[in-house]
Amino acid sequence: MRRVRVLLADDHQIVAEGLRGLLETEFDIIGTVCDGRALVEAARQLRPEVIVVDISMPLLNGLDATRQVKRASPETQVIVLTMHADATYATRAIEAGAAGYVLKHSASAELVTAIREALQDRAFVSPCLATGSPRVLIDRRQAPDETPLTPRQREVLQLLAEGYSAKGIAAILGISSRTAEFHKYRMMEMLKVQTGAELIRYAIRHGIISTDMVESQTTASRACDPPGPSPAP
């Protein structure tokens, strides 16, 4: 019997290897990626039936990556696997199109169940979250995102929060530096903020980037921006 094809997305190699060991006896693990942009591309090429993704992914967070995957392939089921034991994050994950929300410390007990539920078109949320949360989350699955930012603006904002310059953002997204700057200042105008720090706080508050990712980028000196993919023709 053909086994379900699963794609893993986590920026910590040890975690990814642990997930592979946990799942490969029952599912066909077709790949592992370590950032959100690579996830979107791998999903397009490999066409997995299930994706297991962390929220805190570099370049493109797990929730925005989920949105892009679901727009391109609505039938692909996404399970968010995270350390964030927070009903707000869980709600955002379900709103983004995820079928499940599993906490990393519960993965060994719950992840396989979450995947099985997703394949039956049923939502799964780790039971240790607040009582009643799963029902609220399921009911809100099609609720609109609360931020007024466009998907492109969210991408630019995450990269700004990660410390990329306009030039670096332009290389990653395949746009001009001028366009990257335009998005930055348009967001500041829309959100009525005056500084880059305020933009970053907004990104954290709305789950576009997590505090731990900002801290990791702050402690690491970014001498230069990585080249990113070649600009689109």
Q: Tell me: the pLDDT tens digits for 2-53?
A: 899 999 999 998 999 999 999 999 999 999 999 999 999 999 999 999 999 9
Say what the pLDDT of residue 34 is.
93
Please return the burial class of 195, using the count of CB atoms within 10 Å of its CB with bins 0-12, 13-18 and 19+. exposed
φ and ψ of 52, to 5 deg = -110, 120
Query: Residue 216: pLDDT band by 50, 70, 90 thresholds?
Result: low
Give the homologous superfamily in CATH for domain 5-139.
Answer: Response regulator (3.40.50.2300)
Q: What residue ranges of the chain are covered by domains with CATH 1.10.10.10? A: 151-219
Burial 54-72 (b: 16+ CB within 10 A, else e): bbbbbbbbbbbbbbbbbee
Low-confidence winner among 54-63, 168-177, 180-189, 200-209 (lowest mean pLDDT): 200-209
Cα–Cα distance measured from residue 6 to residue 51, given in angstroms and rounded to the nearest whole number: 6
pLDDT of residue 163 exceeding 70? yes
Say what the pLDDT of residue 182 is.
94
Say what the pLDDT of residue 210 is.
72
Q: What residue ranges of the chain are covered by domains with CATH 3.40.50.2300? A: 5-139
> What digits encode the pLDDT tens for the residues 181-192?
999 999 999 999
Closest among 102, 82, 92 to 136, alpha carbons compared: 92
The residues near 203 (Cβ < 8 Å, ≥ 6 apart) are: 157, 158, 160, 161, 209
> What digits encode the pLDDT tens for the residues 99-135?
999 999 888 889 999 999 999 999 999 887 744 444 4
Decide which of 3.40.50.1000, 3.40.50.11540, 1.20.58.1290, 1.10.10.10 is the CATH code for 151-219.
1.10.10.10
Cα–Cα distance measured from residue 111 to residue 168, given in angstroms and rounded to the nearest whole number: 36
pLDDT of residue 200 exceeding 60? yes
